[in-house]
Amino acid sequence: MTARDYRYYVDTGPILERSWASKAGVGFTGKNAMLISRGFGNWLLLAAIVTRLEIEADAPVSRQAEAVPVGTLCGRCTQCLDACPTGALTAPGVLDARRCIYYQTIENKGVIPQELRRGIGNRIYGCDICAEVCPWNRFAVKAKSGLLASRDQLAQLELRELLEFNPERFAAVFKGTPVKRLKLRGLLRNVCVLLWPILAREIACLHCGN
């Protein structure tokens, strides 16, 4: 096999890896539009190899998977739909990316719509709420050892401190992390969205003398 016979992706290309993984029995598509594994819950980073080789396909996780492509093993649970603070999950398996916190804080390079800002809460990079609330995560024992260790210096950063970052400081603190995708401009925009209600209250208190 030569390099021309295959390509590989790990969250790096526009391919339908979740759909393929569902058809191949890796998991099933949940109502949160994510792939859910019996052994790992939602905590998956899918890798895909596109090849010309003929490979025998595995069966889906359930016989119902082909007839019911979304929420095959979700039952009546709607925790992911109910928990989304911006209403991005408009129906089981249907995600309106324009309302998704992940999209707005990372992929959107422009202005975050004002009507969505309250729902963003205290998040400056992405959102995992629809994955966190999924009951299938109680089976994710095997994935715990693979969780990335948090950096203490990041956890200790204050929002107002982030506003003082220059390009050099930003590059040093977030080196080797996905946050660098934001670039400094995107990070400062997200911080301002979070801080604005706090600053507005402080300004109002100054005017009222409290």
Q: Could you give the residue ranges of the DSSP H alpha helices within 40-182? A: 79-83, 101-102, 114-120, 129-132, 152-155, 159-162, 167-173
For residues 162 and 106, give the distance between their C-alpha atoms in angstroms, rounded to a whole number: 16
Question: Which one-letter DSSP state was computed for residue 113?
Answer: P
11 is catalytic: yes
Q: Are the C-beta atoms of 86 and 99 separated by less than 8 Å?
A: yes
Closest by CA to 71, choosing from 43, 94, 92, 41, is 92
Q: What is the CA radius of gyration of the chain?
A: 21
For residues 15 and 22, give the distance between their C-alpha atoms in angstroms, rounded to a whole number: 14
| Catalytic annotation, pick one of 5, 11, 82, 128 | 11
Sign of CA dihedral 96, 102, 105, 108: negative
Q: Which residues contact 50 (CB under 8 A, 6 or more apart)?
A: 6, 7, 8, 9, 15
Give catalytic residue positions.
11
